Structures are given as C-alpha cells and as structure tokens.
Amino acid sequence: MKQDLIVILDLGSTQNTVIAREIRSLGVYSEIHPHDITAEELKGLDNVKGIVLNGGENRMVDGQAVEIRPELYELGYPMISVDYPQSECEKRFDELPTQEELKSFIFEDCRAEANWNMKNFIEDQVELIRQQVGDKKVLLALSGGVDSSVVAAMLIKAIGQQLVCVHVNHGLMRKNESESVVKVFRDELHANLIYVDASERFLGKLENVADPEQKRKIIGGEFIRVFEEEARKLEGIDFLGQGTIYPDIIESGTKTAKMVKSHHNVGGLPEDLKFELVEPLKQLFKDEVRACGVELGLPHDMVYRQPFPGPGLGVRCLGAITRERLEAVRESDAILREEFTKAGLDKKVWQYFTVVPDFKSVGMKNHARVFEYMVIIRAINTVDAMTASVEKVDWEVLERITNRILAEVEHVNRVCYDMSPKPPATIEFE
C-alpha cells in the first residue's frame, strides 16, 4: 500500500524534523524537500496530499530571502505556511501548529489517510528492492550495528541469497566487535558473510590526518574501495546496500541549512563508484529504524544495541589517530560499557562512549610527574538523534568508572564527563 505523503518545503526552518516527526506520529508519511523544488518534481512524488511551507531563521541565503516557485500555488495541493511571510496561503502560522491544527490540515483539508506504519513501509520497500535489483546480487557492508543489521534483514526478506554481506575490520572497531559480528551473523544467523581484515590499510591511510571531515571521507572512500575489490572476486554484483537513514541526509546539509557533518553513507562516496545504491532505510528516523527491525523479527538486543558511527573509533580518537590513543579509546570504552551494564544504564541511556583528545595534561603517578592523555565520557538520551540531553549518572557509578579507567588504561591520567546537550554540541565530537 502506497502511503499518503505530506511534503515539507524547507524555507529556512530549524524545526523541519520536528514537524516531520509530528506528522508521522499521526500515521501519515512526511518528507522534507528543498524550497526550490519544481512543479514537475513535486508532481513526480507519490501520493502527495498536502504541502507545509516551513520558514524560519535561515530564510535568508546569500542576502536573499528564499521563496518557493510561484507555479506551486497553481497545482491545487492544500497548503499551510509556518513563519513564511511570502506565502499566498490563506492558512498561516507564526509558529509550529499544534497537533490539533495539524490534524485538521492533514485529515480534513488534505484528506490523507493514516496509513503510515512499519508493516506497510516494509511491504513497499520489499517490492521496491525487488524491482530495483531483479536477479542481481547486492553487496552489503555489515558492521553489526542497528542500521546495517536492519538493512540486512530487509534485503534477506526481499532477495534472500542474492545478498552477500561483507564485514570489514577497519581497525577502528570497539573491543571484540568484529569477533561478535562474525559469531552472530555467520555462526548463528547463517548469513553469507565475508570477513575482511583491513585494519593496517585503513590506519595507514589515516596516518597524520587530523581534520575530522577528511578522516570521514577517507574512511568512507576506503570502505567503498574494499567492497569494489571484494565484488570483483564475485559474479553478478551490481548493487551496494547501505544503512543511510534520514538524519544522515538531513545533517549532510540542505540549501537553507548548513552541513553539520558529512556521513560516510552520503558525502564520502568516490565519484567513480561502480555500484548502484540500495538504501531502503533512507526515509526513516532512528527510532523508526528500530521499529522496522522489530517488525522484521530481529532480536531485541540487536535492534536496541548501542549506535556506532560508520567511521568507528576514528571519530572518537580526536585529531590525528595514533595507535596509543586508539587503544586508550577502545579499552576505556569497554570499561564504560561494562560498568553501565552492571548499573542497568545500558537499558536506560541511548548512547554512551569515550573519546580521547589529541593533547596531554600534567598528572602524578607513582610519586612522579607524568604528561598523559585524558578520557572524556559522553552519555546522552535522544529519540531521533536530532536533539539530545545529557544523562545524569550517579556519582558512585562515575567514580567507579573513573577509577577503573585510571588503573587499567595505559597513557591516561584524567577522566572528564561531558555535560553538553545537542544542540549546541553534536552527539559525536567529530
């Protein structure tokens, strides 16, 4: 069943995702599109029932106020405008409409049906995947994280043995991560899994690279190179599956919103990419990805496991990566996860991890002056990864974690706790 669609046109709002999620919570699918979408492009979207003109503080771009194309008013779609004074709509709002006002617009003016749910979404995506892939094979980067696991389950449902999973150990994994991926997917789920140890290759490419955007692009680019090499060993691989989700696309920048960061699934792809992409989750927010995984029958522990960035510990070993600091990140992260599990925080906190900056501070060990690194702990809660609050961890738990890190992790003499929400901070440091 094709879902009805409410289109949100980005006219400078910082709350596009807020209104998109609010509409989806009412059972109607919504998407964010750029302000300068053409009439033909809009008509090309499936089942458009109405349009929200969503203005805001970023309405001025290069000294000019952004506006929609005038011909959009002539298409006959019901429209409302939010903080967009140039609008020709009859219904205007100075701020986000209430849920009741949205309901009235969506169900009375637009006559949309509440048919947005995971069962319908999966049915649609399975059919789209089959149409796109045909009898060819798909190569999937299987990190073992939530996104790639749900993509794997979706592709298995759609095309079965036409899926070839590749797990690349880039040397930036958490402690025992690769071993766990192989055990779960190859040994327990019997997936067609290829394991590639490319850790030395990645670390060599990243040597002396300090800029976080450059690190992300190198890691993303090398991933694709590895897949291309693996694909050449196989026959009939024409497609690359990816776990791109909606926040990845949004945070990589729009015409009226500055880029927060590029994602390896979006901005780091090489120009000579040899595969056509299959990205069945690119319309979903993170909590919707988890709901999709549950609907697909994945184990609860897999669906609700810790989010982990594609570049791995590469963006948690801040600045130019060294093996010494990388090992400090890996060991301190393992201690944090172990102690959070003991305290029951693993079921309460959405994401928690450690980072090690590329500078040292003075300290004392064994009655002697030392100059060593610090470990920063971050623990946050969020629904959609677009905003986040800091978890208030009990002092006793923090003290136990601190003592263990200082005693067990080499080259570290200081532990700090990050108190910054998103915004103004982001979830990751780089």
pLDDT of residue 273: 57
Q: What is the pLDDT of residues 78-117, one digit of tens each?
A: 999 998 877 778 888 888 899 999 999 999 999 999 999 9
Rounded-to-integer distance, Cα 156 and Cα 162, Å:
8
DSSP string, 201-255: HHHHHTTT---HHHHHHHHHHHHHHHHHHHHHTSSSEEEEE----HHHHHHT--S
Rounded-to-integer distance, Cα 304 and Cα 297, Å:
13
Is residue 267 very low, low, confident or very high in pLDDT (cuts 50, 70, 90)?
A: very low
Q: Tell me what the mean pLDDT of segment 224-244 comes to.
A: 85
To the nearest whole number, what is the mean pLDDT of the chain?
Answer: 88
- Nearest Cα residue to 380 out of 339, 423, 327: 423
Structure tokens at 81: 């405008």
Percent of the chain with pLDDT over 90: 63
Residue 384 has pLDDT above 80, yes or no: no
Residue 62 has pLDDT above 60, yes or no: yes
- Nearest Cα residue to 114 out of 3, 7, 27: 27
Measured N-to-C along each axis, helices 118-133 and 286-295 cross at an angle, to the nearest 10 degrees, of 80
Q: What is the pLDDT of residues 171-212, one digit of tens each?
A: 999 998 898 888 877 887 778 899 999 999 999 999 999 999
Q: What is the pLDDT of residues 133-148, one digit of tens each?
A: 999 999 998 888 889 9
Residue 254 has pLDDT above 70, yes or no: no
Rounded-to-integer distance, Cα 129 and Cα 279, Å:
9
Q: What is the pLDDT of residues 291-329, one digit of tens each?
A: 999 999 888 878 888 778 879 999 999 999 999 999 999
- Nearest Cα residue to 387 out of 336, 350, 417: 350
pLDDT of residue 85: 79
CB count within 10 Å of CB 99 equals 12
pTM of the model: 0.72
Output the 3-class SS for 315-357. HCECCCCCHHHHHHHHHHHHHHHHHHHHCCHHHCCCEEEEEEC
